[in-house]
Amino acid sequence: SIGFEAESYTFRAGDKLTVEPVICPANATDKSYVLTASSDAISINGNVITAVKAGKATLTATSKDGLYTATAEITVYLPEISIKNNTGTKTISYGETLRLSAETKNTTADMRIFWYVDGVKLGEGTTIDVSPESGVTVTAKLVDKNDEALTDAGGKEISDSQTVKVKSG
């Protein structure tokens, strides 16, 4: 027989998982198998599964002779972040303070929000207050427990940016 250690797996887009189906009996002479997926949410290279995009897939392991199969459900999630009411550009008066708030989806407890102003980290949490003297770009990024920016399956940082312009005078 053939099987998986778990009936289901959940991981983030971009993550990789090495899957080794369990073959019984343990002393079987031919432990060959083929892995296939029911959707393009994951890709398979040998026994390494890569989460490509948010979605679900059924992972199937089939013995070389085709007599035995096992399945496991794969769920791929993609964390998201957005700055509330982001219009792309906001204009404030000189000396005014602007409070920006971020919303997230599909995050886990160990993910946090870091705020950057023109590429310099200036805050952490769901909100930031800025009162620039001239135009700036404020970016909210999702980071992991090691303070590393999270990326999607294509390697792009999971973030959202807002341009803040300042009226002179």
Which residue, among 37, 32, 30, 21, has the nearest Cα to 70 in the 3D structure?
21
Q: How far apart are the first and last CA of the chain?
A: 77
Pairing of strands 159-167, 136-143: antiparallel
Backbone angles phi, psi at 101, to 5 degrees: -125, 145
Q: At residue 126, what are phi and psi to the nearest 5 degrees?
A: -85, -15
Does residue 29 surpass a pLDDT of 90?
no
The string of pLDDT tens digits covering residues 46-61 is: 999 999 888 999 999 9
Residue 99 has a pLDDT of: 96
Q: How many CB atoms lie within 10 A of CB 130?
A: 19
85-132 per-position pLDDT tens digit: 998 999 999 989 999 999 999 988 889 999 999 999 999 999 999 999
Token code pair at residue 116: 């950057």
What distance in Å separates the CA atoms of residue 90 and residue 166, rounded to the nearest whole number? 9
Residue 98 is classified by DSSP as E
The token duo for 51 is 């989460």
The first and second tokens of residue 69, run together, are 């199969």
The pTM of the full predicted model, rounded to 2 decimals, is: 0.74
* 6: its two tokens: 């778990």
Question: Could you give the CA distance from residue 169 to residue 150 in angstroms, rounded to a whole number?
Answer: 40
Q: Cβ distance 102 to 78 under 8 Å?
A: no
Average pLDDT score over the chain? 92
Q: Quick one: tokens of 66?
A: 């085709």
